[in-house]
Structure 1
């Protein structure tokens, strides 16, 4: 493959790079900000794309955020590239906040807060592990005589995934709208400054072209005057 690494990173280093990029999250943030500001689209469309990407980052559909961001941006008639870039709002530094806020909001909306059944089925981490085991065992059950058991996966859906999905609507909307209203005037100001710089450069180019044209015209007139003077014959007395 053309883009395959020559030296494959060990799993621990790949995990570290995922949690903390080589250039750091600050540089990654500035790169995304720079790319978003320079998108060739009206500010309101770019800001709507930012809303779409941030909102989708709060959903529990990990691995599908890019596709969902594109779909939501298309529905909102937003800038798709801005939506894709804004999904980086969900990253290892923010996933804890995103997951906690979405899950707790879902528990509140569904009336599951302080529900003893949540603790009866184990901790949050154990529910993830049990759901993964159920999924693995049931996939193997297709090829052997083992009976499929979806009980632990059902518990995961009822007590983690569904509350997460419902709860993500409120903090996702709040975060998306906050980013929309913050980014819109910033993008407008940046595009206006950029247009001003481009206009000034064009004016300078036109001014230089006019100066060169004037110099050429003056030189041409001077050459014509010299030629006319040379062509004039002296009068005989």
Structure 2
């Protein structure tokens, strides 16, 4: 293929890329900041979009973060592009913390005090994904679909994770809104002053010239 890498990544390199972006986290964060500051929309709409994206990014609805963030931003009249960027709150660094915290909190709410390590949580999600894939294939093949493991996964892992994630996700969304709003307003004010300064320089006659 035209866009295939000449030298395929090794397994350790692939695992490292999941945790550490190729250019490093500072470069990745700078890129996200640049994208956010270039959104031409009202600051409160941009901040509201970020909050929606952060909220969805903290939930276990993996694979649906982008469409759900866009829908939530549309419903709350936030900026959709900012919401898509805000889903980056759910990343390989934060997901382990959010997963363990949310699942423990959800199980406490549901009356089940058992705790699972992060590795077992992700293994359960992987097995559930494989089960869904096999059941979809079974629709078109003679194979028999089995849903018992998915039902067990939903009750033991997904449901408490989802319930437990609402509190941390809401808190993170509120913090994201109140932290991003003043920064976006400050950037817009700076950009407006720079634009006014450029217009003033353009309208000012060059030194040494005389007006008629």
Q: Under TM normalisation by the shorter chain, which class is it?
A: 0.7 to 0.9
**How many residue pairs align between the two structures?**
207
Aligned to 2:148: 151
Alpha-carbon distance in structure 2 between the residues aligned to 1:181 and 1:73 = 16
8 Å CA contact 2:58, 2:89 repeated in 1: no
Do structure 1's residue 75 and structure 2's residue 65 form an aligned pair? no
Do structure 1's residue 5 and structure 2's residue 22 form an aligned pair? no
Aligned to 1:198: 195
- RMSD value, Cα: 2.6
Alpha-carbon distance in structure 2 between the residues aligned to 1:129 and 1:69 = 23
Alpha-carbon distance in structure 2 between the residues aligned to 1:133 and 1:37 = 40
Distance 1:137 1:87, change over 3 A: closer
Aligned-partner SS, 1:215: coil
Distance 1:74 1:129, change over 3 A: closer
Aligned to 2:165: 168
Q: CA deviation at 1:166?
A: 1.4
Aligned to 2:210: 215
Structure 2: tracts of 5 or more residues without a match: none
Alpha-carbon distance in structure 1 between the residues aligned to 2:99 and 2:151 = 19
Q: Based on CA coordinates, which of the two structures has the bigger radius of gyration? A: 1
Aligned to 1:90: 90
Task: Output the TM-score relative to the length of structure 2.
Answer: 0.85
Q: CA deviation at 1:75?
A: 0.3
